[in-house]
Amino acid sequence: MDRRTFMAGSATATAGALAVFGSATPSSAEEARGTGSGGDHVRSVTAITQVFGAGQKLVAVAVEYDRDIDGSMLSTSTFAVTDRTVTKVYANRTADLAQRGRAGRYVIVELSPDDTAAALWVTQQGSGTPPTDGSGSGSGDSGGGVGAGGPKVGDTTPGGTIVAAKATLTQTDTVTTTRGTRYAADSTALTTDAVVNLIVDDFQQFSFADPATGQTLKYNLFVPKDYDPRRRYPLVLFMHDASVVNVATEGPLVQGLGAVCWANPEDQARHESFVLAPEYGSVVIDDNYEPSTLFDATANLVESVTQQYSIDRNRLYTTGQSMGAMMSLGLNIKYPDLFAAAFIVAGQWPKAQAAPLAQKKLWILVSADDTKAYPGEQAITEVIQEQGTQVSTALWDGQSTAAEFAADVRSMKAQRTPVNFAAFETGTVVPSGSTTSAHMATWQVAYTIPGIRDWIMRQSL
């Protein structure tokens, strides 16, 4: 799967009611004549979504007809979608994206992910509002640094919003079946009546009542497709940033790639694994570094899931962005025998407490223009080196191609150090014309680099 395909969006809500369609199946005589408008032959209209680094987006609509459709007769002018740009139209056998179409009852209408109306995950910065403290750095998210006017421990204010996935389209040109029947253009507006959430739908939602802390944690769990309890599987824990606090349980799955990247088919083909993504109802930790009881509840959740399934205790991994990165560092310090490796994205922890991290396997990624997380991570790695642990360091271009990132990863891995510290060069992760901070933009790129995930998955206690 190429980078564009993988970085695409997903939705969490079934949206809209199907517009009124004719329900009768055409008679043989009717089909022979090729009469009837397209709307008379539509059976369903489904929104298709994927997850991009910046969050979920509606990227296609699948129109189901009553007969197999000839894809060679379709073009981008066959359909019009309200407030969206049609980029590709083809036939398919299922309501799914495809590199190449094939005759089937579904017509897939792909849409530009760059359309404003494509976004289904909306944050303060994602909608163009600058950070409240003017820096956009630190461990906080939609409002800048947690300790600099951003959210505090216990804050339940959501920093992002999940928008229901829906689209309205019309068939503006003729659609032809594989038998040559022509369904004429129809001005009837068709509204999506279902949603297919690629990868996101593969997760299950649960709730964990922790007897030790009295806390209840909502969480998402991906179970490998061919799960066999006779085998032992690794598990990845992903912890979100403060902008995802107190949204729907699926929030960690749709805010970006931090959770779903480990569950995508390509990663699972290389490394079958469980993926665990809690949804925190309040901020767990801020720049005072005194976490709420949700911190220990998270460790207890990992233990609970490990007991329920056949999971390899020597291959538990943790990752997170901003608040989640801080939690990953803190959990590795407090529970040194829990995780085999950690992928730390744009976070920090007090230097005075960092010595135990010298015994851990870490891949740290941050932007050089993240004015809090970058020096914070530098301070941690200095402590790690002072303890005698080797650390590889590198500056990367945040706008690198997939092939260039792969080469960057290979270069670091070749040094065979237990800790890798890579920083995106100043000014290279924020998209042109965007008001997103370098802090938030870091994880929009970090989780698109599969080589780092491969390195994590090869570590063991």
Q: Which residues contact 27 (CB under 8 A, 6 or more apart)?
A: none
Does the structure show a pLDDT above 80 at 81?
Answer: yes
- How far apart, in whole angstroms, are the C-alpha atoms of residue 182 and residue 37? 8
pLDDT at site 129: 30
pLDDT at site 47: 98
Does the structure show a pLDDT above 70 at 34?
Answer: no
pLDDT at site 5: 40
pLDDT at site 241: 96
Q: Give the three-state DSSP class for 206.
A: strand
Q: For the segment 159-198, what is each residue's pLDDT rounded down to a tens digit?
A: 999 999 999 999 999 999 999 999 999 999 999 999 999 9
- Asked whether 14 and 195 are in contact (CB, 8 A), the reply is yes
Neighbouring C-beta atoms of residue 244, cutoff 10 Å: 32
More reliable by pLDDT, 136 or 155: 155
- How far apart, in whole angstroms, are the C-alpha atoms of residue 80 and residue 87? 11
pLDDT at site 149: 54
pLDDT at site 312: 98
Q: For the segment 37-69, what is each residue's pLDDT rounded down to a tens digit?
A: 777 899 999 999 999 999 999 999 999 999 999
- How far apart, in whole angstroms, are the C-alpha atoms of residue 243 and residue 50? 20
10 Å CB burial of residue 390 (0-12, 13-18, 19+) is exposed
10 Å CB burial of residue 288 (0-12, 13-18, 19+) is exposed
| Cross-strand partners of 278 | 219
